[in-house]
Structure 1
Amino acid sequence: MRSSSMVFPNEEGGEGAAPKTLGNYLSTVVAFLRRVNGEHDLRRVVHGIKVGIALVLASIVAFITPKYKIFETDAVWAVMTVVVMFEFYAGATLSKGLNRAAGTLSGGMLGCMSAVLAKLIDSKVGQDIGVGTAVFIFGATATYVRSIPCIKRKYDYGGMIFILSFSLVAVSGAQFESSKDILKTATERLGTVMIGFAATIFTSLFIFPIWAGDELHVSIASKFEHLACSMEGLLDTYFDAVADKESKGDGSCKSCRPVLNSKAKDESLANFAKWEPWHRRFGLFYPWDKYLKVGELLRELAATIVSLDVCVQSSRQPAGDLRQSIKEPCELVASSLARTLRELGESLMNMRRCQSDALVLQKLRSSWLVLRLYMSPTKLENACKSGEDLAISTFVFLLTEMLEKLERLANEVEELGELAKFKINDM
């Protein structure tokens, strides 16, 4: 029997020799997603698939409820829980899940208690007033507690769910005739919420989990290389042998600007990472706050590099021949800065402590002394014309600031290695 296959035109409009397979189509789809979504497209696709799986697992409850009479109330609360809980990072999902579980449980119990106690009042008006008073007191108190900074940073979502659960259970419970109905309805709703919670946590943590801790670690470690490249590019631009005032910044510090704007993302990732369980390289009570301290020092260093870039592009910079007079010590310092940044970044990325830390700091201090020597009035007077000494002094001063900041950064990385128990290199 003769088999038939589809023939696809090639790039020139003719017929291709081989048909496209399923793998070709998948490659095309992945390439399209990469163009549309950027470098994290595959993780986004995985995240979407995981949400779909969790929704199916939660929906099973709604499908089997009418047949087996598991819950008399609407089981759609399980699906709603998945929708509002599932986040991109496993730590974020776990944070929202535990907050939601605590808020639902505590709010539901207090709501039931308020509704049951209100039933002890003989008049209907008195019952409504009692429930309304309870809703006011607990709602106002919980809202105030949510505004406390330490609570808002980690437990704001739980506070919101507490207010919602308490109000819904208390108000709806007041409409039932007996306390038994109130407890039964609250228990069933809590059960459906817990099913959605379980489906979400299982899918997020056990099916290709995306860890916030891993991303924070890689993000902080990669910033060292970005700053090193920016530093080298700036020095090449500054000492480029071109005509007077023609050397302009070529955007070599572009990689510094994402570092400057990374504070909010780093804090968010660190907060999510604190909720994550033990996984691979990162255990419980890992020093994520130390990562934030390292990130803060990296942003300070990036700000100094941006200031150095502004100095390089200034029209008040001296002529090229005068810049050459300080080229040797400045290139020595820049080389030391870039090499130290790369060593620190590699040690952090590989989670290993360098035994040459003392030697690195000694080289940094030696470079600092060399620059201090060139910043002396005698050297500047011999090297510069009138009005040009200030421009060169500013440039050299910023380099010395970078040396001091890098020394502090090296100490912080060393402390992080001690707290996180990084392995020591055998080299």
Structure 2
Amino acid sequence: MLGTFHFSCPYHILFFLFIILIKQSKKKTLNNMDSSEVITSTNDENFGCFTRVCNKIRSLFKRLYENMIKFGREAMKLGKDDPRRIYHALKVGLAITVVSLFYYFQPIYDGFGVSAMWAVITVVVVFEYTVGATLGKGFNRMISTLVAGFLGVIAHYVADLSGNTGEPILLALFGFIVAAIFTFMRFFPKLKARYDYGLMIFILTFALVAVSGYRDDEVIKMAQQRLWTVMIGSIIAMLICVFISPVWTGTELNNLIASNIEKLAIFFEGFGSEYLKTTEQKPKQDRSNFRQQYKIALGTKSTEETMANFAKWEPAHGKFKFRHPWKQYLKIGTLVRQCAFRVDALDNYLDYDMQQTQPVIQENFKQICKKLSYELGNVMKEVASSIKKMKKTSAVKSQLTDTKLAVRDLKTLLQDKSLWEKFNLLEVLPVATVASILIEIVNCIENIVEEVHELGCMANFKSMENAIGPVKELSDVIRPHYIVTVDDDEEATNKSNVIPNHKGMISPAEAEIKSIG
């Protein structure tokens, strides 16, 4: 047995060694599998990150391309809407090119030095879209540079007399006084309207000349170079703006006022067809185009004032003579806005559901209001055409006559007592309020026609034989009321002093509506 045991021992040892080798090989296999899975997952993660980065870069380029296409379409639309914008951009480029020659050519550069760059800067800040704005800025810059440069040189020499110790103190004091005074002057409405840019340039030029003169002894030469370069840049900008495809501010203001009046005319034409419709009869999108256009006239006050100020700088051109009555345009613009505010109140009644109103009342008011709105639209269109063409017209006379008839019919209907007795007050009041607003609008349009007639007389519109008709007839129909004048020696009224007037009083129709309310 021992022999057998000893004989079989090597086999047992080999068997155990074989089992150990198998276990180790399994462990290595498992370890290799785990490491390969880790490597594979790492590779997958790296590939996913790379894919996300590529997608982001691709989306970035896609958005960039879409924005470029959108920008190109918007640029094409702007150019098609008003080609003068393209011409303006080309004119600015031409002015910059011409004035840059002072910096490129050595002989010219030797005369001006680094100050030649001021000519380029002047063109950039002075050149505007319209002639009036460019002339205003150009003259403001030249005059301010001249006066401020002269005072800056004087301030430098006065401060120089006080010695090295007192010179910086005096220069600082002069700078403080000039900056404080001229900054405060910019708050004056009249100065701010026309000379605000000049006052700002005055402060800048005085500070540059006076302060820089403390380190530079050639103050006069520096002031001269700055003055000449500013004048050259301003003159080049003004000449190119005036003689190459000019955009006149006066013409723009004239067209703006006429356009605002046309927008009111469009509303009146649309109001007549839309008013007194029920909810079922109105379209789903009941904010029609005619109900949006007139709102533009409500926010043009600042634009009109700016244009009127710039137009005063322009020379005589076309039908616009020297000293054209630009203030009259502001008066007309103010009256147009007052009318637009009344139109805005009238617009709210288009959203009113007329099912709450009796059909009889609707039928009585519908035809009269429709006729009156139509006539008002014709009057406003004719007035707008008169301003745009700068010609007097006789068509307004006949149109005002038709408006008189419509107003007379509307007043007769409002004064009908049976209307108020048969129906409930809440049913009649909405349509009566609309009628009252229309009467007020007629009075406002009468004032617009009067001011346009005055503009035609002041600006010498053509065709005096076709002058706007006697507007006062309209007020006699709309507001038959009186005022009383009192002599200085008498405190009592005199019947012989009673004269008709159309301002500040209340018509019988309005008085009746208010008394009922």
TM-aligned CA deviation for residue 244 of structure 1: 8.3
Task: Pick closer, same or farther for the CA change 1:118–1:355 going to 2, 3 Å.
Answer: same
Query: In the alignment, is the contact (CA less than 8 A) between 2:250 and 2:311 conserved in 1?
Result: yes
Does the residue aligned with 2:161 lie in a helix, a strand or coil? coil
Partner residue in 2 for 1:214:
251
Aligned CA-pair RMSD: 2.6
Structure 2 equivalent of residue 102 of structure 1:
143
Match of 1:292 in 2: 330
Change in Cα spacing, 1:141 to 1:286, as seen in structure 2 (3 Å) is: same
Q: Match for 2:324: what amino acid?
A: Y
Matched, 1:380 2:399: no
Q: Which amino acid aligns with 1:139?
A: A
Contact 1:34/1:41, CA 8 A, preserved across alignment = no
Instruction: State the partner residue of 1:4.
Output: none
Q: CA deviation at 1:74?
A: 3.1
1:90 aligns with 2:131: yes
The reply to whether residue 69 of structure 1 matches residue 110 of structure 2 is yes
Alignment of 1:11-30 (within 5 A): none
Asked if the contact 2:193/2:306 (under 8 Å) is kept, the reply is: no
Match of 2:433 among 368, 391, 394: 394
Contact 2:88–2:129 (CA under 8 A) maintained in structure 1 = yes
- 2:456 pairs, out of 399, 407, 417, with 417
Say whether the 8 Å CA contact 1:247–1:313 is kept in structure 2.
no
Letter paired with 2:313: W
Partner deviation per Cα, 1:80-118 (whole Å, 9 max, x = no partner): 000111111110011111111111111111001101121
Change (3 A) 1:339 1:244: closer
* C-alpha distance in structure 2 between counterparts of 1:379 and 1:236, whole Å: 27
**CA gap 1:106/1:383 in 2 versus in 1, 3 angstroms:** farther
> CA 1:51–1:247 in 2, change beyond 3 Å: closer, same or farther?
closer
1:321-368 Cα distance to aligned partner (Å, 9 max, x none): 531121222222112211111111111111111235554444434432
Name the counterpart of 1:278.
Answer: 316
* 8 Å CA contact retained: 1:73, 1:188: no
Partner SS, residue 94 of structure 2: helix
1:59 and 2:100 matched: yes
Moved more, 298-307 or 317-326: 317-326
8 Å CA contact 1:78, 1:193 repeated in 2: yes
| Alignment partners' CA distance in 2, 1:51 and 1:273 | 21
> Relative to 1, partners in 2 of residues 1:71 and 1:34: Cα closer, same or farther, differing over 3 Å?
closer
Aligned to 1:154: 194
In structure 2, which of residues 328, 343, 354 is the aligned counterpart of residue 305 of structure 1?
Answer: 343
The aligned amino acid for 2:302 is A
| Residues 379/344 of structure 1: CA separation in 2 closer, same or farther (3 Å cut) | farther
Contact 1:353 1:417 in 2 (8 A): yes
Counting only pairs closer than 5 Å after superposition, residues 354-365 of structure 1 correspond to structure 2 as 354-365=393-404
Is contact 1:287–1:419 with CA below 8 Å preserved after alignment?
yes
Bigger proportion of residues as helix: 2
Cα distance, 1:72–1:224 mapped onto 2, change above 3 Å: closer
Of structures 1 and 2, the larger Rg is shown by 2
* Structure with bigger RCO (C-alpha 8 Å, 6+ apart): 1
Tell me, in whole angstroms, the C-alpha distance in 1 between the residues paired with 2:337 and 2:425.
35
Consecutive unaligned residues in structure 1, runs of 5 or more = 1-30
Quote the Cα distance in structure 2 between the aligned partners of 1:41 and 1:245. 36
Residue equivalent to 1:345: 384
- Give the alignment partner of residue 117 of structure 1, picking from 147, 158, 181: 158
Matched with 1:16 is none
In the alignment, the residues of structure 2 paired with residue 208 and residue 33 of structure 1 have an alpha-carbon distance, to the nearest angstrom, of 23
Question: SS state of the match for residue 317, structure 2?
Answer: coil
Of residues 336, 344, 358, the one that matches 2:375 is 336
Q: Gaps spanning 5+ residues in structure 2: where?
A: 1-71, 467-517
* Residue of structure 2 aligned with 1:367, choices 406, 411, 415: 406
Distance 2:212 2:75 in 1: 49
Which letter does structure 2 place at the counterpart of 1:197? S
Instruction: Please give the alpha-carbon distance, in whole angstroms, between the structure 1 residues aligned to 2:198 and 2:385.
Output: 39
Is contact 1:103–1:158 with CA below 8 Å preserved after alignment? yes
Distance 1:115 1:274, change over 3 A: same
Would the alpha carbon gap of residues 288 and 320 (structure 1) be closer, same or farther in structure 2, given more than 3 Å must change? farther
Q: Could you tell me how far apart the structure 1 residues matched to 2:285 and 2:437 are?
A: 18
Q: What percentage of aligned pairs have identical amino acids?
A: 35
> What is the CA-CA distance between 1:66 and the residue it aligns to?
5.4
> Can you list the C-alpha shifts for 1:156-186, whole angstroms capped at 9, x where unaligned?
1000000000010000112124xxx111111
In the other structure, the counterpart of 1:229 is 266
Counterpart Cα distance in 2 of 1:169 and 1:132: 12
Question: Alignment length, in residue pairs?
Answer: 396
Q: 2 CA distance for matches of 1:155 and 1:385?
A: 61
TM-score of the superposition, structure 1-length normalised?
0.86
Q: Residues of 2 paired with 1:162 and 1:40: CA distance?
A: 38
Cα gap change, 1:238/1:321 in structure 2, threshold over 3 Å: closer, same or farther? farther
* Aligned counterpart for 2:297 among listed residues 259, 272, 276: 259
1:276 & 1:395 partners in 2: Cα distance? Answer: 44
